[in-house]
A and B are shown apart, each in its own frame.
Chain A
Amino acid sequence: MSTTTLPPPDLIVRPNYLNVSHGLKSWLLTKDHKRIAILYLLSITFFFFIGGFFAFLIRLELLTPAGDLVSDDNYNRLFSMHGIIMVFLFLIPSVPAVLGNFVLPIMIGARDLAFPRVNLLSWYIYVLAGLFTLFVVFAGGVDTGWTFYVPYSSLYANGWVVATAVGVFIAGFSSILTGLNFIVTVHKMRAPGLTWGRLPLFIWSNYATAIIQVLGTPVLAITLTLLAVERIAHVGIFDPKVGGDPVLFQHMFWFYSHPAVYIMILPGMGVISEIVTCFSRKRIFGYSFVAAASLAIAVFGFLVWGHHMFVTGQSIYAGMVFSLLSFLVAIPSAIKVFNWTATMYRGSISYETPMLYAFGFIGLFTIGGLTGLFLATLGLDVHLHDTYFIIAHFHYIMVGGMLMAYLGGIHFWWPKMTGRMYPEGWARFAALLVFVGFNLTFGPQFILGYLGMPRRYHAYPPEFQVLNVLSTAGASILAVGYLIPMIYLIWSLKYGRIAAPNPWGAVGLEWQTSSPPPTENFETTPIVTEETYHYSNEAKDFV
């Protein structure tokens, strides 16, 4: 590795997907999954920073008990737009559309995804959804929260509810197309010898995610269509004054949006499986259990939506069934955590940046998962529902889990994607900042929640202030932790060390080709003869 500081001449001149053609047109009309991944990377990063900026304004407002920084209506717009942008335009596409798009075909030894044009279409659909959302942001926003609960959203909310719903509706199709593409690709385009039992776990988890995307997202589209129809024409589906039922909306919304939580975490779990094995130099402990857990989560995730309605007045017996099923869906996640930990046992562990993010993920996801049990427990959820406890819980999963995994994955595959190494010292420092800042931001919110501070409050009683100040302080550290990688990753594109084809000594197929890969990924189709994560057999290749 140390010998690669000076680029071997053949690495510079070798054609790759980046230098094969130039100009805006060659990017906007590309059918190369790697270029489409880069397009996605740029667009979701843009929305991440917009959503993050809104989050920072929210935290600044909550620094003091009085609602004095922004008006109440503007505060409501801030948290609504934060949620909508982060969920639909960042978290859902993050790992699948960027990392999945880039490495999934290479990992299975394919030249591209099954439907390259559909892949490009999905990006254009995403951009259209993004434009709708940007229009809403600049036109004055929406104040329904990302959950769009009726009858507030249908009859009472001011603002651009229909335009937002259309934006989210459109974003859903981008997600469906990516999922469809992944399913077909995994079924039909695996390299010779790459049996289902040899698939990397990143593939398994993206495959499970794709199933949810294809089956769940249409329900979101139906729900939002009904919402728009209700708002425009007031047909009364959700209005009790004309015989409708507002709780029906919640059932339909969460029938998609709870599985969507798994769309937002399963791909991250796949990233962690790749990183932990690579930096422990060991095959995964209990491969089939980790793979099966992804599918179990995808299936059981569809059966727990009712746990969002324990206090709406739904039947207490329905509540019990949903509570029990929610405990069961936690088991596969627990199995994954135990197996990652066991993988490290008697491994050869090194602490490069991706592994630091994986350590962070395991710890934060464990806390996020365990606090989910509090909310699945009927008697406790009554108190915790709609308080800051649940804000803390899902940010531990979404930010502590998925965002950590995404950043870990970006650092892991950055040399492959760009052909450059980032400065390791800065990267480790940023990973540490993110971990510390994250815990300081969201840890106090668990206490706030049990104390009873409701979510979506613009102003709050003064006794909650100290904990809110801690949280805002943490958010400031977190913000710095996100800006630093932004800077050094861009810096590395020009000044970073040239990356070797396999800088981590990893065994996946994506590391067998050059960095960055050629447009066709491999010069000759690879033939797989071994299990995935065959680290011990490949030891001789490390140096």
Chain B
Amino acid sequence: MLKNLPLFPVEGSTGAHEVDALYFYLIAVSAVFTIAIFICVMVFAIKYRRRSPYEVPKPIEGSWFLETLWSVIPMLIGISMFVWGAKVYFDHAVPPRNALEIFVVGKQWMWKLQHPEGNREINELHIPIGQPVKLTMTTEDVIHSFFIPEFRVKRDVVPGRYNNIWFQAMRPGTYHIFCSQYCGTQHSAMIGHVYAMTPDDYQNWLAGGGDQSMAKRGEALFQQLGCSSCHNLDGQGRCPNLRGVFGNTVLLRGGGQVIANEAYVRESILFPEAKVVAGFEPIMPTFQGLVNEEGLLQLIAYIKTLSTRAANPSVPLTSPPRGRTTTPAGVPVR
């Protein structure tokens, strides 16, 4: 019976335990309040039940002391929940820099995933255990949401944006992928599985597919779409040289600056006139409709390789830097 009646999901990722601890704290507080109210109502209802129709209870005005007490105590408990919850959220907002990056494109009604090495899969995600994995996600059509309950992670996948989540699987196993933002007819069929594997198994799996890395595919696209005719990599073209751009600050025409992250590269391909680099004319045509979301991700992967800093993170795999040093897009700031 208990096999058919699960009450609690598996803790599949390193972050799951923290979320569960928070959950139990809230359950404990809720239980105390619910039981206290329940007992008070029951006891009062029985003890002070009307014994005769003529009964006249004494009026009680109220009590400033009690009102203060039951405003301040719940407020303090609420603030403790807020602080703890914000800490868990904040800690998980920033993927470690050494995370393995996998790219997700949602589409009615499937998940398309690409590994940097070139492996592509649909509704399946193979990952190594013991290593942080960062998903960079967007969608071709409506809003979806990528949810792995066993990892306690979820993030909406919004058209026109790159949203990230990251997690680190603890042990080999198969876990659910659900689309949790309603997306139309087959919303409930937009599901799949995560296969968490030992690093060796993962390497074997990687070797089994993917003829070309994402960056190679991106390079081919870069040629095919004619990008290279203007964006000469020797710095002589009419357009900015893209070498060393990714991850760095770019000065803009008309003042202002922007950090060249995934979102900026995407915007520059689809809306070239939006943020033109200082010293250049807005002559680039839009590539809207010429390149799909997966192609955009490949172009970005290629442009990343042109910037050694982003392509070869010299950070050891074992100690992810935390918190303030990176933005959610993995771009260094400050």
Chain A contact residues, CB within 8 Å of chain B: 1, 67, 72-73, 76, 143, 145, 149, 151-152, 155-157, 240-241, 243, 245-247, 280-283, 285-289, 310-313, 316, 319-320, 323-324, 327-328, 330-331, 334-335, 337-339, 341-342, 344-351, 359, 362-363, 366-367, 370-371, 373-374, 376-383, 385-387, 447, 450-452, 454-461, 463, 465-467, 534-536, 539, 542-543
CB distance from B107 to the nearest CB of A (A): 12
CB distance from B68 to the nearest CB of A (A): 10
The answer to whether B85 and A330 touch across the interface, beta carbons within 8 angstroms, is no
- Known A246-B160, A319-B89, A447-B7: A152·B142 in contact at CB below 8 Å: yes
The answer to whether B188 and A67 touch across the interface, beta carbons within 8 angstroms, is yes
What separation, in Å, do the CA atoms of A311 and B180 have in the docked complex?
11
Give B162-177 interface residues, CB cut-off 8 Å to A. Answer: 163, 176
Q: Does B290 contact A (CB under 8 A)?
A: no
The answer to whether B56 and A378 touch across the interface, beta carbons within 8 angstroms, is no
Q: Which A residues lie within 8 Å of B8 (CB)? A: 450-451
Q: Which B residues lie within 8 Å of A460 (CB)? A: 188
Q: Which B residues lie within 8 Å of A359 (CB)? A: 41, 45
* Residue in B8, B51, B108, B155 whose Cβ sees the most chain A Cβ within 10 Å: B155
Q: Which of A151, A367, A378, A461 contacts B88 (CB 8 A)?
A: A378
Chain B contact residues, CB within 8 Å of chain A: 4-9, 18-19, 22-23, 26, 29-30, 33-34, 37-38, 40-41, 44-45, 48-51, 53-63, 66-67, 70-71, 74-75, 78-79, 81-82, 84-90, 92-93, 108, 141-143, 145, 147, 149-150, 152-156, 158-161, 163, 176, 178-189, 191, 271, 288
Write the chain B residue with the least CB distance to A285: B62
CB distance from B91 to the nearest CB of A (A): 8
The answer to whether B159 and A345 touch across the interface, beta carbons within 8 angstroms, is no
Q: Which B residues lie within 8 Å of A534 (CB)? A: 59
The answer to whether A367 and B34 touch across the interface, beta carbons within 8 angstroms, is yes
CB distance from A117 to the nearest CB of B (A): 41
The answer to whether A313 and B40 touch across the interface, beta carbons within 8 angstroms, is no
* Residue in A286, A366, A379, A536 whose Cβ sees the most chain B Cβ within 10 Å: A379
The answer to whether B187 and A76 touch across the interface, beta carbons within 8 angstroms, is yes
Q: Which B residues lie within 8 Å of A334 (CB)? A: 70-71, 74
The answer to whether A385 and B78 touch across the interface, beta carbons within 8 angstroms, is no
- Known A286-B62, A379-B84, A467-B5: A366·B33 in contact at CB below 8 Å: yes
What separation, in Å, do the CA atoms of A542 and B92 have in the docked complex?
62
Does more than half of chain A's interface fall in helix, strand or loop, or is it mixed? Answer: helix
Q: Which A residues lie within 8 Å of B55 (CB)? A: 281, 348
The answer to whether A377 and B81 touch across the interface, beta carbons within 8 angstroms, is yes
Q: Which A residues lie within 8 Å of B150 (CB)? A: 452
Q: Which B residues lie within 8 Å of A351 (CB)? A: 45, 49
The answer to whether A539 and B56 touch across the interface, beta carbons within 8 angstroms, is yes
- Known A281-B56, A289-B62, A313-B155: A350·B163 in contact at CB below 8 Å: no
Write the chain A residue with the least CB distance to B149: A452
- Known A289-B62, A362-B37, A539-B56: A156·B142 in contact at CB below 8 Å: yes
CB distance from B6 to the nearest CB of A (A): 6
The answer to whether B44 and A247 touch across the interface, beta carbons within 8 angstroms, is no
Q: Which A residues lie within 8 Å of B152 (CB)? A: 382-383
Of the A-B pairs whose beta carbons lie under 8 Å apart in the complex, a sample of 30, sorted by A's number, is A143-B184, A143-B185, A151-B143, A152-B142, A240-B161, A282-B60, A311-B156, A312-B143, A327-B79, A338-B66, A339-B67, A348-B51, A348-B55, A349-B50, A351-B49, A366-B33, A366-B37, A370-B33, A379-B85, A379-B87, A382-B19, A382-B89, A387-B180, A447-B7, A452-B9, A452-B178, A455-B182, A458-B188, A466-B4, A466-B5
The answer to whether B183 and A281 touch across the interface, beta carbons within 8 angstroms, is no
- Known A151-B141, A344-B45: A543·B183 in contact at CB below 8 Å: no
Q: Which of B26, B45, B180 contacts A373 (CB 8 A)?
A: B26
What separation, in Å, do the CA atoms of A457 and B181 have in the docked complex?
10
What separation, in Å, do the CA atoms of A157 and B108 have in the docked complex?
12
Q: Which of A281, A324, A339, A543 contacts B82 (CB 8 A)?
A: A324
Write the chain B residue with the least CB distance to A387: B180
Does more than half of chain B's interface fall in helix, strand or loop, or is it mixed? Answer: mixed
The answer to whether A341 and B41 touch across the interface, beta carbons within 8 angstroms, is yes
Q: Which B residues lie within 8 Å of A447 (CB)? A: 7
The answer to whether B59 and A282 touch across the interface, beta carbons within 8 angstroms, is yes
- Known A377-B26, A379-B86: A337·B155 in contact at CB below 8 Å: no
The answer to whether B22 and A382 touch across the interface, beta carbons within 8 angstroms, is no
- Known A286-B62, A347-B44, A385-B154: A379·B88 in contact at CB below 8 Å: yes
The answer to whether A323 and B82 touch across the interface, beta carbons within 8 angstroms, is yes
CB distance from A163 to the nearest CB of B (A): 19
What separation, in Å, do the CA atoms of A461 and B67 have in the docked complex?
47
Q: Which B residues lie within 8 Å of A542 (CB)? A: 53-54
Query: Besides A328-B78, A379-B89, A542-B53, 16 other CB < 8 A contacts?
Result: A76-B185, A152-B142, A152-B182, A156-B141, A241-B288, A282-B60, A285-B60, A313-B163, A335-B71, A339-B62, A341-B44, A346-B48, A370-B33, A373-B29, A378-B89, A380-B22
Q: Which A residues lie within 8 Å of B163 (CB)? A: 312-313
What separation, in Å, do the CA atoms of A543 and B56 have in the docked complex?
12
CB distance from A93 to the nearest CB of B (A): 26
Write the chain A residue with the least CB distance to B49: A349
CB distance from A543 to the nearest CB of B (A): 6
The answer to whether A240 and B85 touch across the interface, beta carbons within 8 angstroms, is no
Q: Which A residues lie within 8 Å of B4 (CB)? A: 463, 465-466
Write the chain B residue with the least CB distance to A327: B78
Write the chain A residue with the least CB distance to B141: A156
Q: Which of B59, B70, B156 contacts A313 (CB 8 A)?
A: B156
- Known A240-B161, A379-B18, A459-B189: A311·B44 in contact at CB below 8 Å: no
CB distance from B50 to the nearest CB of A (A): 4
CB distance from A248 to the nearest CB of B (A): 11
CB distance from B12 to the nearest CB of A (A): 11
Q: Which A residues lie within 8 Å of B88 (CB)? A: 378-380
Write the chain B residue with the least CB distance to A241: B288
The answer to whether A349 and B58 touch across the interface, beta carbons within 8 angstroms, is no
Q: Which of A72, A156, A316 contacts B93 (CB 8 A)?
A: A316
* Residue in B62, B75, B93, B189 whose Cβ sees the most chain A Cβ within 10 Å: B62
CB distance from A359 to the nearest CB of B (A): 6
CB distance from B327 to the nearest CB of A (A): 10
The 8 closest A-B pairs by CB, nearest first: A452-B149, A240-B160, A379-B88, A377-B85, A378-B89, A286-B62, A539-B56, A327-B78
Q: Which of B7, B9, B33, B187 contacts A457 (CB 8 A)?
A: B187
- Known A281-B56, A312-B158, A331-B71: A152·B143 in contact at CB below 8 Å: yes
Q: Which A residues lie within 8 Å of B49 (CB)? A: 348-351
The answer to whether A151 and B180 touch across the interface, beta carbons within 8 angstroms, is no
The answer to whether A145 and B182 touch across the interface, beta carbons within 8 angstroms, is yes
Write the chain A residue with the least CB distance to B59: A536
The answer to whether A323 and B85 touch across the interface, beta carbons within 8 angstroms, is yes
What separation, in Å, do the CA atoms of A423 and B257 have in the docked complex?
75
What separation, in Å, do the CA atoms of A370 and B34 have in the docked complex?
8
Q: Which of A143, A324, A454 contacts B179 (CB 8 A)?
A: A454
Q: Which B residues lie within 8 Å of A330 (CB)? A: 74, 78
- Known A319-B89, A379-B86, A383-B149: A283·B60 in contact at CB below 8 Å: yes
CB distance from B140 to the nearest CB of A (A): 10
What separation, in Å, do the CA atoms of A517 and B110 have in the docked complex?
62
Q: Which A residues lie within 8 Å of B161 (CB)? A: 240, 313
What separation, in Å, do the CA atoms of A243 and B274 have in the docked complex?
10
Q: Which A residues lie within 8 Å of B147 (CB)? A: 386, 452, 454
